[in-house]
Amino acid sequence: MTNEMSTGKDMGESRGFSEEQKRCLEETLGGLAQLLPFAGVSADGRITASPLLAPVNLAAPAEAMLHGTPVGDLTKQEKWKLDENPLDIWEKLVAHAEAGRRPDEPDTFRFKYHGLFYVAPAQDSFMVRLRVPAGILTAHQMHGLADLASDLGGGYAHVTTRANIQIRELKPRDIVRVLVRLQELGLTSRGSGADNIRNITASPTSGFDPGELIDVRPFAKGLHHYILNHRDLYGLPRKFNIAFDGGGAVCAAADTNDIGFVACRVTRESLARRGDQPPAEPGIYFRVQLGGITGHKDFARDTGLLARPSEIVAVAAAMVRVFSENGDRTDRKKARLKYLLEKWGAEKFIEETQRRLAFPLARLPVEACEPPRPFAKHGWIGPHRQAQAGLSYVGVGLSLGRMSARQMHQVADFAAEHGSGELRLTVWQNLLIPHVPDASVGTLVRILQKLGFSMDPAAAAGGFVACTGNAGCRYSSTDTKGHAAQLARHLDKRRPGIDVPINVHFTGCPHSCAQHYCGDMGFLGTRLGDGSEGYHVVLGGGMGDEQGIAREVFRGVRAGDVPGLVSRVLDTYGRDRRAGETFVAWSRRHTVGELQELLS
């Protein structure tokens, strides 16, 4: 062949093919057609699957794929992400703010990458959700958030079930000012919504819990900063939750997360109990639990993996990447880690994780670790001794996580005056003031009580959790916070004589942000036949050492009838329980039919 055949331009536009070249081409393509009967050439010179029908151009670029999924099969949210990377929309945010404009549907999704939730029609405004790793805030930051809430928002904030802060009723024109003010406080809201890893949670008493195995703050913060600085850890198939439990007294709900790292102690005795030679020296490790999603009635399960503390940020990042590259991007309902684990099995997931790590993952059966300590139920309310001699932490009960700006300033002042200037948010929608000298605890508790904060672990409000509800979330069927507050007031007034802490969870839709399947009592909002608000009622759920999915006992209870029903449940438990029997144990002792009969 001559040089003239080397470019299409020369071939097509100058002299065309010589007779010899044409014969050579025909022979070659003819031979190809015989060898590969699906290959042919169409009249216009394209190489096709069939020279007659010419339906596919084999020379055309293959359809674009995202992690092995054809773009055409992706959900609309995935296409929005491809059309415009939500991390790169700063100019759009500024333009929207300048015009006071509401975002359209794709941009409503993209804005959530920046923690900005346009929550119409529930409220014609934005909510901002922060990232507060391990739930740790300084008094200075709390003051700043209080100012932000009163200057630009509705004058209040909520502590969420991810030990995080949300501020609502922000006007469209203020969204950029909100982001700038958060950054000036040393805070961020980046990646707190949409298909991203949510706030990294941790045992709220980390670093001062007398019984903890390890202080997990460095891991929660380390992973938080790793995520913020790696773009490939944004834009997952769906949201993703990670928690660290250091073995302290207050439950971090790790088993409700996609990945739960739970500290454990391995001793010579615990190894000996196993009777073999597992690859572990005595020490403190983390067990790795995977696939929790309680709204889909599943807890994270132990994988048999044992991670050294120095390894867990790398293990977490590798697991997130395996999920990102292999999770389902064609169906939002199946786009959580649980479903990849069901499709693959945990072993394949671990193998894929191992391929991304430079060190071998260790395995150890759970029985070869010391059993975990039981949690102190409602240990997040009232005063408790710290590991440091002479210091205590004081758990402050908030009403369903809500704090007015004034209350935010107050708790910040108390943390600075009586503690070290630090505050800890909990996944129970409350907060702790740590490092209070024992001599000041009594004074602080009296002041907090006088101001209306709950200090009593037996008070109903301490164990109540409620999602946003229809006052601020368009998915909600009911006013969860309003109904939960009514019930808490009813119980505190009525004092049914229950001397054990009870957790009550109200959630407005099956997304289950308040984890209704994990409370002693859970309420799932629904609309009744006549359009009024009601609840399906589940009993006997729990997390950690009480782990179990609550069972549905009643359907479609009118919201106004809930306080009466709960009184009946508690009275019946009080009469029927055995000595020392917890509410969970009592309710699980009975079948659903027996409970219905007892309570009817």
Residues that bind ligand SF4 (CB under 6 A): 467-468, 473, 475-476, 507-509, 511-513
> Nearer to ligand SF4 by C-beta: 201 or 468?
468
Distance CA 30, CA 39 (A): 9
**3-state per-residue secondary structure call for 215-264:** CCHHHHHHHHHHHHCCHHHCCCCCCECEEEECCCCCCCCHHHCCEEEEEE
- Give the shortest CB-313-to-ligand SF4 separation in angstroms: 29
- Give the shortest CB-63-to-ligand SF4 separation in angstroms: 34
Position 216, amino acid: V
Alpha carbons within 13 A on the beta-carbon side of 475: 10
- Give the shortest CB-435-to-ligand SF4 separation in angstroms: 33
CA 402 to chain centroid, in Å, comes to: 20
Q: Which H or E element spans position 201?
A: strand 201-202
Q: Are 563 and 490 in contact (CB under 8 A)?
A: yes
Q: Are 181 and 188 in contact (CB under 8 A)?
A: no
Q: By three-state DSSP, how is residue 530 classified?
A: coil
Q: Which H or E element spans position 33?
A: helix 19-35
Residue 295 has phi, psi (to 5 degrees) of -60, -25
> Nearer to ligand SF4 by C-beta: 166 or 270?
166
- Give the shortest CB-548-to-ligand SF4 separation in angstroms: 20
CA dihedral 535, 539, 543, 547 (to 10 degrees): -140
- Give the shortest CB-497-to-ligand SF4 separation in angstroms: 32
Q: Cβ of 121: how many Cβ atoms within 10 Å?
A: 6
> Nearer to ligand SF4 by C-beta: 214 or 403?
403
Q: How many residues does the chain have?
A: 600
- Give the shortest CB-525-to-ligand SF4 separation in angstroms: 7
For residue 386, give every residue at least 6 positions away whose Cβ sits within 8 Å of its Cβ, in sequence order, or none: 208, 209, 210, 392, 393, 434, 435
Q: Are 144 and 129 in contact (CB under 8 A)?
A: no
Q: Which of 341, 381, 404, 321 shows the shortest CA–CA distance to 149?
A: 404
> Nearer to ligand SF4 by C-beta: 127 or 412?
127
For residue 195, give every residue at least 6 positions away whose Cβ sits within 8 Å of its Cβ, in sequence order, or none: 77, 81, 234, 235, 236, 237, 238, 239
> Nearer to ligand SF4 by C-beta: 108 or 507?
507
> Nearer to ligand SF4 by C-beta: 160 or 454?
160
- Give the shortest CB-476-to-ligand SF4 separation in angstroms: 3
> Nearer to ligand SF4 by C-beta: 29 or 122?
122
> Nearer to ligand SF4 by C-beta: 320 or 466?
466
> Nearer to ligand SF4 by C-beta: 409 or 483?
483
- Give the shortest CB-431-to-ligand SF4 separation in angstroms: 20
> Nearer to ligand SF4 by C-beta: 123 or 476?
476
- Give the shortest CB-430-to-ligand SF4 separation in angstroms: 18
> Nearer to ligand SF4 by C-beta: 130 or 467?
467
- Give the shortest CB-484-to-ligand SF4 separation in angstroms: 12
- Give the shortest CB-509-to-ligand SF4 separation in angstroms: 3
Between the CA of residue 467 and those of 55, 158, 242, 250, 540, what are the distances in Å?
53, 10, 19, 21, 19
In 296-353, DSSP assigns E strands to: 301-307
Radius of gyration of the chain (CA): 29
CA 468 to chain centroid, in Å, comes to: 15
Position 32, amino acid: L
Q: Are 292 and 258 in contact (CB under 8 A)?
A: yes
